[in-house]
Amino acid sequence: MSDERNVTNGLPSYAAPAGGRLTEEMLQDFRNTGVLILRDFVTRAACKTLRERANELVAGFDPYEVRSVFSTTSQPQLDDDYFIQSGDKIRFFLESDAFDESGELRQEKEHSLNKMGHAMHDLDPVFDSFSRTPELAEVARRIGFVEPAILQSMYIFKPPNIGGDVVCHQDSTYIYTEPESCVGFWFALEDATTENGCMYFIPGGHRLPLKKRNYRGPDGKLVTETLDDTPWPEERKLAAEANAGTLVVFDGRAPHLSAANRSPKSRHAYTLHVIDRQCRYPAENWLQRSAELPLRGFE
Ligand code: FE2
């Protein structure tokens, strides 16, 4: 029953429609809440394939080499550069608690990472084929994209015991276009629960103003400007628990957060951020790509 409506803790949740053909009811829910949960959008086998490919990429990463670059926390510019230059690369970002006082990893390498980003979808064939399917293209079309472009991909590890929390934010803060067009496509690659740090959304919060904007200042450093300092109505947040294979589509303005993972289970997820090429992409956004890696849509 592809069009059976359901809710996940008050958030709109449906069995994934055939071919990504969102119904008018689904679209209505998305417009009203800023969030749409589509269960079993991808198979568990596809999730496993992506997790295995991520593991292979992790195997080629040396955390001690990266650590030597950020040997002290007093070098925020190096930190910024490593991040800022990752828009057209595959880079690894460690959890802040990855190392102990003596400088050794507390857990094995694959359980020390916060994320990998930000161009796997354009650089790695396995990520490319996961990210570009006719179903995703159809979802993007139905939610109103005219010329969708997959700006970035992120593999989120949320490792056991040390997976950090993410405070309430809007993705359009970081992925800003004029007019705003950012939409997140978040895939649960493992079951995400309140125990292992699932996401929370404030339903309808996408109608709130954009509260912050992050950009490169004149000196190249990243600045986060507060546009509206009203606190988030976090008392209205709802957990978006999601089994592996679930796709959560959410508006770039939709406020969301996740708690730390103190459980023994990892919570791997994969996110695509999509913008419309018809909108202006500011030169001061942190993510800039080299001309050798042109933006592509879902085809
Ligand atoms: Fe986010």
- 35 C-alpha to center of ligand 1: Å? 13
Mean pLDDT of 264-275: 98
Instruction: Using the mean position of ligand 1's atoms as its centre, give its distance from the Cα of residue 255 in Å.
Output: 8
CATH for 76: 2.60.120.620
Q: Is pLDDT of 7 > 70?
A: no
Q: What is the mean pLDDT of residues 11-29?
A: 97
The model scores a pTM over 0.85: yes
CB 118 within 8 A of CB 286: no
Does the residue 234 lie in any domain?
yes
**Closest C-alpha to 151, from 169, 134, 176, 168:** 176
What residues are neighbours of ligand 1 (ion), with CB under 5 Å?
A: 171
Q: Compute, in angstroms, the gap from residue 268 CA to the centroid of ligand 1.
A: 15
Flag whether 297 is in a domain. no
Domain span at 145: 5-276
147 within a domain of the structure (yes/no):
yes
Residue 222 CA to ligand 1 centre (angstroms): 17
Q: How far is the CA of 44 from the centre of ligand 1 (A)?
A: 23
For the chain, what is the domain count? 1
When pLDDT is averaged across residues 187-213 and rounded to a whole number, the result is 97
User: 285 to each of 180, 220, 288, how far by Cα in Å?
Assistant: 13, 11, 7
Tell me, in angstroms, the distance from the centre of ligand 1 to residue 166's CA: 8
Task: Flag whether 299 is in a domain.
Answer: no
In a domain, 133, yes or no: yes
Residue 289 falls within a domain, yes or no?
Answer: no
Per-residue pLDDT tens for 270-282?
Answer: 999 999 999 999 9
pLDDT in tens, 45-92: 999 999 999 999 999 998 887 765 554 444 555 677 888 899 999 999
Q: How far is the CA of 1 from the centre of ligand 1 (A)?
A: 31
Distance 175 CA to ligand 1 centre (A): 10
Work out the burial of residue 253: count CB atoms within 10 Å of its CB; fewer than 13 is exposed, 13-18 middle, 19 or more buried: buried
Phi and psi of 177, rounded to 5°? Answer: -130, 165
The reply to whether 291 falls in a domain is no
Q: Answer for the pair 36, 203: CB distance below 8 angstroms, yes or no.
A: no
Q: Is 224 exposed, middle or buried (0-12, 13-18, 19+ CB in 10 A)?
A: exposed
Q: Which two tokens stand for residue 283?
A: 């030169």
CA of 128 to the centre of ligand 1 (A): 21
CA dist 252 and 254 (Å) reads: 6
The predicted model gives 237-250 an average pLDDT of 97
| Section 110-129 average pLDDT | 96
* In-domain check, residue 290: no
**Cα-flanking dihedrals φ and ψ of residue 206, to 5°?**
-70, -10
